[in-house]
Amino acid sequence: MTIETPEGPFAAGFSDRGLCSLAFPGHQPRPIPSTCPVGLPERIRGWATTTARALKAALAGKHPRAWPPLDLSAGTGFQQEVWQALRRIPCGQTRTYGEIAAAIGRPRAVRAAGQACGANPVPVLVPCHRVLGAHGRLGGFSGGLQWKRLLLEREVR
DNA sequence: CCCTAGCGGTGCT
DNA sequence: AGCACCGCTAGGG
C-alpha cells in the first residue's frame, strides 16, 4: 500500500507478521516473504496507520511514539542481527560499519555489515542511515545518498 | 586525493 | 566447491 508523506509517497508492504517492506518514493519495494498471505485486513489497517504515523515522525527527525510490528524474517541470520543492531542506535546518533560489526560479535565482518545494511527491507524505520564510514565518511545508501543526508540532518535537532 | 590488499556474507553456477 | 559481487577499512604513496 501507499503512504503519503511530505517527502512523497512511500510503498509499504505487510506480511501476516507485520511491516516487511518500505520503499522510497519512486523505488520498487523489496520482494516480500513467501509466507505473506494477505492477512486479516482489519489488523493490517491498524498496522498501516501506525506505520504511517511512525514514518512521518521519522522523516521529521522525531522518535515515533508507536511502532508497527516488523517482519524481518526474510533476512539471513547475519542480516537480522545487523538489522537489530541498527534498531539499537538512538535517534540522533550514528555508528560506523565497524562498530555495527563489533556490536554483533563479528568485528571483522565490516564489509558484510555494510552489505547487510544495503539489504535492509525497511529503511528509515530500521535506521540504516545512521551508519557511516570510518573517519566521518558518509558511506553509501541504497535509496540514494540524498535521503541519507536528509534523514541525518533532520535527526540532529 | 589515489591505489592496494585483506576482509566476510551472500547469491549464483 | 568456486567465484564475483559489495553501503568497508587500514596503510601507503
Return all residues near A146 (Cβ < 8 A) that are at least 6 apart: none
Q: What is the pLDDT of residues A74-97, one digit of tens each?
A: 999 999 999 999 999 999 999 999
Lowest pLDDT segment from A13-22, A35-44, A50-59, A126-135: A35-44
As given in the structure block, the three cell numbers for residue A131 are: 551508519
Q: How confident is the model at residue A41 (pLDDT cuts 50, 70, 90)?
A: confident
Percent of chain A predicted with pLDDT > 70: 94
Give the residue numbers of A annotated as catalytic, written as ranges: 128
Taking the C-alpha atoms of residue A90 and residue A88, their distance in angstroms, rounded to an integer, is 6
Q: Please name which of A154, A92, A82 lies closest in space to residue A121, comparing C-alpha atoms.
A: A82
Q: Please name which of A57, A139, A53 lies closest in space to residue A96, comparing C-alpha atoms.
A: A139
**pLDDT recorded at residue A144:** 97
Give mean pLDDT, residues A1-15: 97
Taking the C-alpha atoms of residue A92 and residue A153, their distance in angstroms, rounded to an integer, is 9
Q: Which residues touch strand C (CB under 7 A)?
A: A 96-98, 110-115, 117-118, 120, 123, 128-129, 131, 133-135, 137, 139-143, 148
Distance between the alpha carbon (CA) of A5 and the C1' atom of C4, Å: 39
Q: Which residue is nearest to nucleotide B6 (CA to C1')?
A: A108
Cα angle, residue A154 at apex, residues A143 and A24 outer, rounded to 5°? 25
Return all residues near A36 (Cβ < 8 A) that are at least 6 apart: A13, A14, A15, A16, A20
Which nucleotides of chain C does any protein CB come within 7 A of?
A: 6-10
Taking the C-alpha atoms of residue A127 and residue A77, their distance in angstroms, rounded to an integer, is 18
Distance between the alpha carbon (CA) of A62 and the C1' atom of C11, Å: 40
Query: pTM above 0.85?
Result: yes
Q: What is the pLDDT of residues A104-146, one digit of tens each?
A: 999 999 999 999 999 999 999 999 999 999 999 999 999 999 9
